[in-house]
Structure 1
Amino acid sequence: MNAPRTRVQRRPVHGVLLLDKPLGLSSNNALQKAKWLLRAEKAGHTGTLDPLATGVLPLCFGAATKFSQLHLDADKTYVALARLGQKTSTGDAEGEVIETRPVAPEALSPERLAAVRQQFLGPIRQVPPMHSALKKDGKALYEYAREGVVVERPARDVVIFDLQLSDVSDQHDGAPTLRIEARCSKGTYIRTLGEDIGEALGCGASLISLRRTVTGDFDQHQCVTLAQLEAWSEADRQRSLLPVQALLPHHTRVTLDSENAGRFLSGMRRRGSWPDKNPVAVFGEQPPALLGVGHVMAGELIPERLLSPIEIQQILESIESTNEPATAGIQETK
């Protein structure tokens, strides 16, 4: 007979966990594991990583989920390894090899790599891969792919802000291997980028590893692992969370006195001498807590997304227990 499962007592948790997602785990499974370890009531993530990808995965808890959408537009940096001369059904190591081609010695010369790099810098168009979560007629493309169905996908405009290509074959038993480091806009498919670079080199390619090192203002060196979370005490897990406003690094801070803070929280516009700003993060003066986000136009502070009084109280109690400032990281506007 199986022992009864222990029921986890959920609690309100507010903040951002920068997780270093492990290999082989889906983003949702990683989220659920972290949610269980933190005993959090509410959680979400700011965009997914494939199971075969590792790296920066910001997880949002409680009030932070209200601002997770803002982070979906963030630029991202990836480091990938591509096996040249080998194409797979999925564009990565998960698929079956569908084509092999010889790799010409000059394909990995510094001159050739420099020329191909220039082809992919700046605005480019990508056709999304069939093995992706993009939906058509309410159904994910990878579901069609599993059924052996190929559907038409319109090309998408993305931007490659920086691209570095280097030959690392000597680190992989001499097998022709290309290291790709790309800083790109949202919606960029690195598997597709790797395949397209392989075609430009005349030999085809598929990814053998993929890691996200940066997303927005978050870097891999700030991340914690699931193994660390498991080993830590509950208090240390709580301390690993960044405050909710960590999702708002480019919002200008506006501070309101108690009376105006209460009215703002009820959804009312406030008048003041602020210059026009969009976006702004609005804080109370006493107590110093994030109230929500909005924008200032023609002397009016206009609310957009607000925290609830209960969420604010819970955040203040959490801050009190860890002695961390509530308004760190936001520039004030006068």
Structure 2
Amino acid sequence: MYHGIINVYKEPGYTSHDVVARLRGILKQKKIGHTGTLDPAAEGVLPVCLGMGTRLCDMLADRTKTYEAVLLLGCSTDTQDTTGTILTENREKALALDPETAEKVILGFKGDYDQIPPMYSALKVDGKKLCDLARAGKEVERKARRVQILEISILNMELPRVSIRVTCSKGTYIRTLCDDIGRELGTGGCMEHLLRTRVDRFLVEDSLKLDEIEQLRDMDGLEEKIYTVEEALETYPAVYTLPEGDKNLKNGNPCFRQQLDLLRDGAPEVWEDGDRFRFYNSEGRFKGVYQYQEEKHWWKPWKMFDLDPDTFKGAARP
């Protein structure tokens, strides 16, 4: 069984669930999960977690993402992209836009803003998916959610189309951003194309199509393409226990300051409540992620990954 994360290039026409289903067949294992849905028409980076790596699905879903999208002005649809039913058309007004005005409005979306999730989404209201309600012809009230546009830039502008690059927080809908930009400009707008180029450390240039993954499996070259759990967590500082703290770490119990090797190279000097760290035993074996709790002056387990590198393919290595 494989354990870790594989950077999949999701091709247009596949749902995220389709990717998982096919990977289960390619890798001959059931324990596989994706890290956040990507619309069927969209393409790009979709990190997929394998085996023990599935414990990271929620964490990776929360990380920032970067997209390149084509915004089509002068047209709005019920799905907020060009796959939907056209609600309004105003191509002439879009063509007549002052490019400087359009640029100012688009770049003005940088920062925090309240975004209303689209009806055609997988979010649930009273246990029902919004997209299922939308397909049944129903529309329900949705509460606006605060999202963050960390970076937004214009790659190309040939009205009525504008190519943009967006780095954003979790829960941001790029097609809703396109719709909101169109509303602000008074022309209407929708998303014509979407490419996800980055999820946390996973980049589009390193991603693999499903056919490529299958070929690598047949050539016994797949293992080197699987990121270990440890690699996915490398943004967390490393902490090592002393021999007397190994038992607590092995059993997933809280660890105390006197059980940590704080003189080891790279040991953090500053600890803040809620901070997370990669914990290793005194022999250098990665065991899991611990979270500092200032009130109790201890480190409490957050996620444990006791992987034996001699047993598991794609496992973390000390």
TM-score (norm 2): 0.87
Query: Of 287, 310, 316, which residue of structure 1 is paired with 2:310?
Result: 316
Deviation at 1:167, TM superposition (A): 4.4
Letter in 1 for 2:104: A
Letter in 2 for 1:26: T
**Aligned pairs (5 A) from 1:22-171:** 22-104=11-93, 105-107=95-97, 109=99, 111-169=100-158
Query: Of 289, 294, 300, which residue of structure 2 is paired with 1:293?
Result: 289
Query: Of 300, 305, 311, which residue of structure 2 is paired with 1:307?
Result: 305
Give the aligned partner of residue 276 of structure 2.
Answer: 279
Letter in 1 for 2:232: L
Separation in structure 2 between the aligned mates of residue 28 and residue 108 of structure 1, nearest angstrom = 42
Moved more, 227-236 or 290-299: 290-299
Give the aligned partner of residue 265 of structure 2.
Answer: none
- Whether the 8 Å contact between 2:286 and 2:316 is mirrored in structure 1 is no
Give the aligned partner of residue 267 of structure 1.
Answer: 252
Deviation at 1:325, TM superposition (A): 7.4
Moved more, 275-284 or 130-139: 275-284
**Aligned pairs (5 A) from 1:218-257:** 218-234=202-218, 235-256=220-241
* TM-align CA RMSD: 2.2
Separation in structure 2 between the aligned mates of residue 318 and residue 239 of structure 1, nearest angstrom = 13
Q: Taking every aligned residue pair, what percent have the same amino acid on both sides?
A: 30
SS at match of 2:252: coil
Deviation at 1:22, TM superposition (A): 0.6
1:207 aligns with 2:191: yes
Query: Are the structure 2 counterparts of residues 126 and 297 from structure 1 closer, same or farther at C-alpha, using a change threshold of 3 Å?
Result: closer
Deviation at 1:135, TM superposition (A): 0.5
- Whether the 8 Å contact between 1:113 and 1:165 is mirrored in structure 2 is no
What does the per-residue CA deviation read over 1:217-268, in whole Å, with 9 as the maximum and x for residues that have no partner? Answer: 2211121111211222342122210001233132111123566334312122
Deviation at 1:53, TM superposition (A): 0.9
Moved more, 35-44 or 72-81: 35-44
What does the per-residue CA deviation read over 1:46-84, in whole Å, with 9 as the maximum and x for residues that have no partner? Answer: 111111111111100111111221122211111111222
Separation in structure 1 between the aligned mates of residue 183 and residue 92 of structure 2, nearest angstrom = 11
SS at match of 1:93: coil
What does the per-residue CA deviation read over 1:94-123, in whole Å, with 9 as the maximum and x for residues that have no partner? Answer: 2122221134344251x1123202431111
Letter in 1 for 2:231: A
Aligned residues, how many?
302
Query: Are the structure 2 counterparts of residues 206 and 150 from structure 1 closer, same or farther at C-alpha, using a change threshold of 3 Å?
Result: same
Give the aligned partner of residue 5 of structure 1.
Answer: none
Deviation at 1:201, TM superposition (A): 2.1
- Whether the 8 Å contact between 1:84 and 1:103 is mirrored in structure 2 is no
Query: Are the structure 2 counterparts of residues 164 and 241 from structure 1 closer, same or farther at C-alpha, using a change threshold of 3 Å?
Result: same
Letter in 1 for 2:276: P
SS at match of 1:23: coil
SS at match of 1:236: coil
Query: Are the structure 2 counterparts of residues 197 and 252 from structure 1 closer, same or farther at C-alpha, using a change threshold of 3 Å?
Result: same
SS at match of 1:232: helix
Letter in 2 for 1:269: P
Deviation at 1:166, TM superposition (A): 4.8
Query: Are the structure 2 counterparts of residues 269 and 73 from structure 1 closer, same or farther at C-alpha, using a change threshold of 3 Å?
Result: same
What does the per-residue CA deviation read over 1:123-149, in whole Å, with 9 as the maximum and x for residues that have no partner? Answer: 111111100011100000001100100
Separation in structure 2 between the aligned mates of residue 156 and residue 96 of structure 1, nearest angstrom = 25
Query: Are the structure 2 counterparts of residues 113 and 82 from structure 1 closer, same or farther at C-alpha, using a change threshold of 3 Å?
Result: same
Separation in structure 1 between the aligned mates of residue 160 and residue 151 of structure 2, nearest angstrom = 23
Query: Are the structure 2 counterparts of residues 108 and 219 from structure 1 closer, same or farther at C-alpha, using a change threshold of 3 Å?
Result: farther
Separation in structure 2 between the aligned mates of residue 297 and residue 134 of structure 1, nearest angstrom = 33
Letter in 2 for 1:302: K
**Any gaps of 5 or more consecutive residues in structure 1?**
1-11, 170-174, 328-334
